[in-house]
Amino acid sequence: MRWAFVGRRVVEPIAAAPVDWAFHTPRAARVELGPDLKEDLQKLKGCRTGEAKLTKGFNLAARFIIHTVGPKYKSRYRTAAESSLYSCYRNVLQLAKEQSMSSVGFCVINSAKRGYPLEDATHIALRTVRRFLEIHGDTIEKVVFAVTELEEATYQKLLPLYFPRSLKEESRSLPYLPADIGNAEGEPVVPERQIRISEKPGAPEDNQEEEDEGLRDDLSFIGSHAFARMEGDIDKQRKLILQGQLSEAALQKQHQRNYNRWLCQARSEDLSDIASLKALYQTGVDNCGRTVMVVVGRNIPVTLIDMDKALLYFIHVMDHIAVKEYVLVYFHTLTSEYNHLDSDFLKKLYDVVDVKYKRNLKAVYFVHPTFRSKVSTWFFTTFSVSGLKDKIHHVDSLHQLFSAISPEQIDFPPFVLEYDARENGPYYTPYPPSPDL
């Protein structure tokens, strides 16, 4: 199977060739329809979001046109939007297969007008096509992604993650694949919504010989499974917490319950205003293969934003990252008094997050610290939190940072590079010089 990538500038010459193209026609599209196509569309009796319906190509350079409708995007209904967008691509490909098409052309099904983040939509598009071709690749010879100039850079960036052209490109792309790539067909999966069925709940999973022992099995397991557990009196537990009389196990359960409430709110809240700050993002991996998360202090207008929403956004982004070992790179570069995170907020964040955040955080690289920030960090890690002091490393120059993280693995804000070059001299660039230089 071959794949092709084209921008708007070259769509017309390619479309002039007689191929089996599949086009997306949004519900609100304003296009001039030929009379035959218009008549066929009226027979379809509409098309629901996520569905795909077929008409002939008529005078176009295609045997068929496949019509589908992408979802509107709202962050609080993100899971539903992801599932609908997946259905669009999957149903188009399924129709193409059923009609024995050898080539399929996709434009970007969900546009910015419907509010869908371009990069998130592109991940769904590419992984759905990839998964489909893994199973039915023998029936389709070519897939073409036709995009505009606005979308081209994102497709160029993400295509190698799902369609690497060499083993070297594949190994280089692996760290950049998102943690959630759906199921075997690329469909989005929400773990907490999956039905978990256990055979003989309450009994240990042992070999067949022990199963034959019947009534001689140890019955101590009965009552330990989810259906047999009771949470107890929540009000009484809260009272014991306030009196300092609750056991360590009960405290951990209460903390987990509290974190789950924050996580649930983070997944339902509209956090697009916090995301637009680009103050927290995932980049590559460090020299030990651990995920690198970047925090840009200068991009956090502490006095202008709702810090509770900032905490929700941190949880929303980090929940699936923190399940494995990770490191934080905090750029303190050129921060002002309006960007300094209050110690009370940091303490609240540290107290709210799940234990996996603390256990799997292996290092915090504090880049371009000032004397004041070093003193504040010392006080915070000495008197407010425990177990964090040994993980913090103050880094005065990017050269020092590169001993732990390769420069190719970090997406730097431009002002950080400019500041470091001005203060510490030019640094090594991972990109080869232009042949014109």
Q: Tell me the catalytic residues.
A: 20
Q: How far apart are CA 37 and CA 434, in angstroms?
A: 50
Dihedral Cα 106, 110, 113, 117, nearest 10 deg: -120
User: Would you give the distance in Å from CA 205 to the centre of its chain?
Assistant: 34
C-alpha distances (whole Å) from 367 to each of 329, 387, 392 are 7, 20, 10
DSSP-derived letter for residue 61 is S
Angle of CA points 133, 139, 140, to nearest 5°: 65
3 state DSSP class of 3: strand
Determine contact, residues 22/106, Cβ cutoff 8 Å: yes
Backbone CA torsion sign across 285, 291, 292, 293: positive
Cite the DSSP H helix spans in 192-331.
208-211, 234-242, 248-268, 272-275, 307-318
